[in-house]
Amino acid sequence: GAGVSQSPRYKVAKRGQDVALRCDPISGHVSLFWYQQALGQGPEFLTYFQNEAQLDKSGLPSDRFFAERPEGSVSTLKIQRTQQEDSAVYLCASLVSAQETQYFGPGTRLLVL
């Protein structure tokens, strides 16, 4: 595709509900990142994949957060038993190996009520 796409763009969840956020990176991009952006703040790193391998998940805030990229392309960020503090924009980015510029998707805005 032309750029990184994410779905859904907006998600409203009731507290305790599980959600799944999808990221389609740019075709051929080896590396994929997830970030969380709270209102009025900059993005914060969550996790990083190189192909299907999750090389760094140090930014995941709790064990309720889980990310996967089973075939090295599309990635899913899953949040179990959502809490109000999970409300944020979740951004996905990809880059070609050995390049430094990350290309961001439009984000998924999650609101937990």
Partner 1 sequence: SQQGEEDPQALSIQEGENATMNCSYKTSINNLQWYRQNSGRGLVHLILIRSNEREKHSGRLRVTLDTSKKSSSLLITASRAADTASYFCATATNDYKLSFGAGTTVTVRA
Residues 72-101 that bind partner 1 (CB under 8 A): 91, 93, 95, 100-101
Q: What CA–CA distance (Å, rounded) separates 72 from 70? A: 6
The only residue of 39, 40, 70, 71 in contact with partner 1, by rule CB under 8 A: 40
Q: CB of 103: closest distance to partner 1 in angstroms?
A: 7
The answer to whether 36 contacts partner 1 (rule: CB under 8 A) is: no
Q: What is the nearest approach in angstroms of partner 1 to the Cβ of residue 72?
A: 16
Q: How far apart are CA 54 and CA 74, in angstroms?
A: 13
Extract the tokens encoding 20.
């799944």
Identify the residue among 68, 80, 87, 106 touching partner 1 (CB under 8 A). 106
Query: Please, which residues bridge with residue 84 across strands?
Result: none
* 34, 107, 110, 112: which one binds partner 1 (CB under 8 A): 107
Q: Where are the beta strands (DSSP E) in the chain?
A: 5-7, 10-13, 19-24, 31-37, 44-50, 53-56, 65-68, 75-79, 88-95, 103-104, 108-112
Name the β-bridge partners of 94: 32, 103
Closest approach of Cβ 16 to partner 1, in Å? 27
Interface residue list for partner 1 (CB under 8 A)? 4, 31, 33, 35, 40-45, 48, 56, 91, 93, 95, 100-107, 109
